[in-house]
Amino acid sequence: MTNDIIAKYGDARLPRYTSYPTAPKFSNEIDAADYAGWIRGIGAGTTSLYLHIPFCRSMCWYCGCHTTITEKDQPILDYLDVLKREIEMAAGTSASPLDVREIHFGGGTPTIIEPQEFVGLMSLLRRNYQIHDEANISVEIDPRTLAPDMAAALGEGGVTRASLGVQSFDPIVQKAINRIQSEETTAATVEALRRNGIGGINFDLIYGLPHQTVASCQDTVRAAIAMRPDRFAVFGYAHIPSFKKHQRLIDENALPDAQARHEQAEAIAADLVAAGYRRIGLDHFALPEDELAIAAENGALRRNFQGYTTDNCDALLGFGASAIGRLADGYVQNEVPPGSYARKVAAGELPTAKGYRLTREDRLRANVIERLMCDFGADIPAIAAAHGFSPDVLVGQNQPLLDMAEDGLISFENGMIRLDGAYRFLVRTVAATFDSYLADSQRTFSKAA
């Protein structure tokens, strides 16, 4: 039956549901004035900060991020000047210093900046925001470019967690995706981070890449396990060359089909579980003592633009070109082209390009989708009641959900949805039945399996 289920549902292209509604629903009806009002509304709530550094030294052909390739430092320095101004502008918009509990540096390659620039950025944040003494500060790292002085700067800046891109150690796969990275380089980076007091280590792995096999996936994950990171994120490669043109450099004939992708994902998961990692949500794994594993066990796991998280802050402010924020009223996204972003900031404006104002029903559906993505189940009557709705709003005309129950993909009794354990990899398929906007989207998403 599993093969039949994969054949029926696995090729559907669906959002990863790191937000609801998803980004294609954002529009220019939301502007900088709306965003400023939303920031002022944060008040005494807790806040997360996301800083986007959209630069890399070379392009990885599988990449789905907004990034720019540069061998020169001046464009990066110019960008940082703009980023600092935006940080100050947002702080000045708030009625009082915001209580920050989470900071995340993403990209691109955030550690492409000079060590003194990183330390300076952290100092700027501490001057403009009330950074909690025990704030989680995380950064994404390309191990191929992390220098020893940058590792030291991360420690000096108070970084508590680093997420390392690994993807695959198979040299054939690495050549096919234009990312050559040895096990030795990765291990040296882990050692340098730990030596500088950064105890939280995440590894990112990808399956479904060109020329990848179950055996090569297992070789990679076993080598990675030997370095004993606290967490793994294991993503399926999303091949969308119409959206990311550099992906056209990947040989589509070398990509595994839905069944092979599923086998690769399950082989990686089996090795991680055997090594003592707990399976978290759709694509994360963590050691039992890690706070992510504890949150999952307690029903406190959350999901945001960085994936699965323990971040339960009331608001997220996104800084930098293309960065997305989430506030109580809705979502905002900055201008994507760095030039457009810089021009708005230079004019003294928050660089909002578009956004979305949440409705009561949006919040209801977002809650259901988040619980499904985090817990593989949802109590529909309880969630509906908490938002002041009848369950019929969610399930009354939801024929796709009933079809999934008949296929054995889920159980659906007394309003409680549970995914069958064998089909958890299709949780996005179930979540999509509660997405009232999916049919309107013209965007191509990644495959469900």
Domains and CATH numbers, the chain: 1-18+359-443 (1.10.10.920), 31-319 (3.80.30.20)
**Pair of tokens at residue 164:** 């390392």
* pLDDT at residue 449 greater than cutoff 80: no
| DSSP H or E run through 221 | helix 214-225
Phi, psi of 244 (to 5 degrees): -120, 100
* pLDDT at residue 270 greater than cutoff 60: yes
Q: Which residues contact 395 (CB under 8 A, 6 or more apart)?
A: 380, 401, 415
Helices (H), 278-425: 291-297, 338-346, 360-375, 380-386, 392-395, 399-407
| Averaged pLDDT for residues 185-195 | 98
pLDDT digits (tens, 9 = 90+) for 16-53: 899 999 999 999 999 999 999 999 999 889 999 999 99
Q: Which residues contact 188 (CB under 8 A, 6 or more apart)?
A: 143
CA distance 245 to 230: 34
* pLDDT at residue 447 greater than cutoff 60: no
| pLDDT for 202 | 97
pLDDT digits (tens, 9 = 90+) for 271-329: 999 999 999 998 999 999 999 999 999 999 999 988 899 999 999 999 999 999 999 99
CA distance 237 to 245: 15
* pLDDT at residue 144 greater than cutoff 80: yes
| Averaged pLDDT for residues 112-131 | 97
* pLDDT at residue 446 greater than cutoff 60: no
Confidence of residue 443 (pLDDT cuts 50, 70, 90): low
| Averaged pLDDT for residues 158-164 | 97
Phi, psi of 166 (to 5 degrees): -115, -55
| Averaged pLDDT for residues 243-270 | 91
* pLDDT at residue 448 greater than cutoff 80: no
Residue-wise DSSP of 173-189: HHHHHT----HHHHHHH
Which of 235, 225, 236 shows the shortest CA–CA distance to 286? 225
* pLDDT at residue 441 greater than cutoff 70: no
* pLDDT at residue 85 greater than cutoff 70: yes
* pLDDT at residue 235 greater than cutoff 70: yes
